[in-house]
Amino acid sequence: MENQEYSVGLDIGTTKIVAIVGRRNAHGKIEILGVGKAKSLGVHKGIVNNISQTINSIKTAVAEAQSSAGVPIHKVTVGIAGKHIRSLQHSDYIMREHPDRYITEDDIEKLKDQVKKLVMLPGEEIIHVLPQEYKVDSEGEIQEPVGMHGKRLEANFHVVVGQMGSIRNIARCVREAGLEMEALTLEPLASSEAVLTKEEKEAGVAIVDIGGGTTDIAIFKDNIIRHTCVIPYGGGIITDDIKEGCSIIEKHAEQLKVKFGSSVPELEKDSTYVTIPGLHGRPDKEISLKVLAQIINARVEEILEMVNTELKAYGAFEQKKKLIAGIVLTGGGSNLRNLRQLANYTTGFDSRIGFANEYVANDKNQYLKGPEFATSIGLLMESLKIRDKRVLQTEEEIIEEAVAKAEPVAPQPTAEVEKPQQIQQIEEVAKPKEVAKRSKPTFGQSLMDKVKKFFEEVEE
């Protein structure tokens, strides 16, 4: 199988590193060829804090994906998140040299490149330049300016910025794991590719991706990305709270959260207990599920309040910016029982859990159904988009090259093809005018005739 046929998404998360290999089938759906998963050891709150451990985890996940897919992995599309990510709004324009020619993708790229030259804070770097709405001359609110004519091309941009050091660390880990980084994508954007529908993006929706170390938010309205941010809390901090609150080890705290955890204590019975084995001969410990739910609820409410603050910052409660489709919860943290009810109550928006299996064709055992794989599948979709674009460009280049190489064929003296009646009539009407036009002397000719006549009279 050729490398061009498949793509790879690599999700470097706080709790796990996932590599997914896939390709598009004849119906445009994604066919998963292989999945590799490894425990993430060198990442804290979305930021690499141990290079060698992260490299080893990437190698483990990629080796597993390679062996299950049966294909070699060279290029990957990588996700980035972390508390260092911030976003800003920016407006910019270019004056086109040839306004008589229509606007092309090159003009848009030129405008994007200009935005990429923005001066950032020390140590910061631009990750994404996302156009929102265009303006051509005085005409505004244009979604797609390609093919239009105009002198001034302007656009509003959503610019995503991250710490240069964190970006370099991810790039180094990928490179030293023997891979080439095809693209770096903001994780909430990747998740939104996998779980949101076009209708939701149109109506207005916020995706809330609750990962291990961070909660990522992306807001869409009128099919345009409006706001992105990263909250430095995720499922990991809930596990830490259970560990401290119940005085148990992290492994048991994580198991308790996953198997018995609930976000709403009122729905738990006082009489239900779960037994945790004691350490090295110590007695077993009994933990009330109601107490467990109270610990979880306190932290989840705090995270949801931060989500609410971000929604207010965007203006989601204003009538004009209202999110009709509400909230889509995804990521491993969204597996918590009763989270949807608590999100509805805390934010006032209707919510649903976002599953990524809608775009996947061959997930018969439902392994990838879980929302924890949303980012990985989104990154694979992003990688496939890049591949499709490259294939399209290559095809165009081949066609252009073939046209350039084709020698002009000399016209052969063939019998005149019978012309359509309408064209013949037009030509017949045009002929007398042409004759008349030729017979009438031009101003220059009549002047020359007069001068000639004058000299001839003088000579006589």
DSSP-derived pairing of the beta strands 180-186 and 139-142: unpaired
Residue 455: predicted pLDDT: 54
Give the pair of three-digit tokens for residue 266: 């009122």
pLDDT for 423 beyond 50? no
Residue 3: predicted pLDDT: 46
The pLDDT of 397-402, averaged and rounded, is 73
pTM, to two decimals:
0.81
Mean pLDDT value across the chain = 86
Residue 364: predicted pLDDT: 64
Contact residues for 364 (Cβ-Cβ < 8 A; gap 6+): none
Residue 361's pLDDT band, with cuts at 50, 70 and 90, is confident
Residue 281: predicted pLDDT: 79
Q: What is the CA radius of gyration of the chain?
A: 32
The type of residue at 448 is: M
- Distance in angstroms (rounded) separating the CA atoms of residues 339 and 318: 25
- Distance in angstroms (rounded) separating the CA atoms of residues 338 and 325: 19
Give the pair of three-digit tokens for residue 383: 């990688």
More confident residue, 228 or 421: 228
Q: Directed axis angle between helix 187-195 and helix 374-405, to 10°?
A: 90
- Distance in angstroms (rounded) separating the CA atoms of residues 226 and 131: 10
Q: Directed axis angle between helix 289-314 and helix 339-347, to 10°?
A: 40
Contact residues for 191 (Cβ-Cβ < 8 A; gap 6+): 207, 209, 216, 218, 330, 331, 354, 374, 375, 378
Residue 316: predicted pLDDT: 84
- Distance in angstroms (rounded) separating the CA atoms of residues 62 and 65: 5
Residue 431: predicted pLDDT: 46
Name residue, tokens 């048991």: 252
Contact residues for 438 (Cβ-Cβ < 8 A; gap 6+): none
Residue 282: predicted pLDDT: 84
Q: Provide the residue count of the chain.
A: 460
pLDDT for 408 beyond 80? no
Asked whether 257 and 296 are in contact (CB, 8 A), the reply is yes
Residue 447: predicted pLDDT: 56
Sheet holding 180-186, edge to edge: 30-39, 16-24, 7-12, 75-80, 180-186
pLDDT for 407 beyond 70? no
- Distance in angstroms (rounded) separating the CA atoms of residues 354 and 95: 42
The pLDDT of 17-29, averaged and rounded, is 89
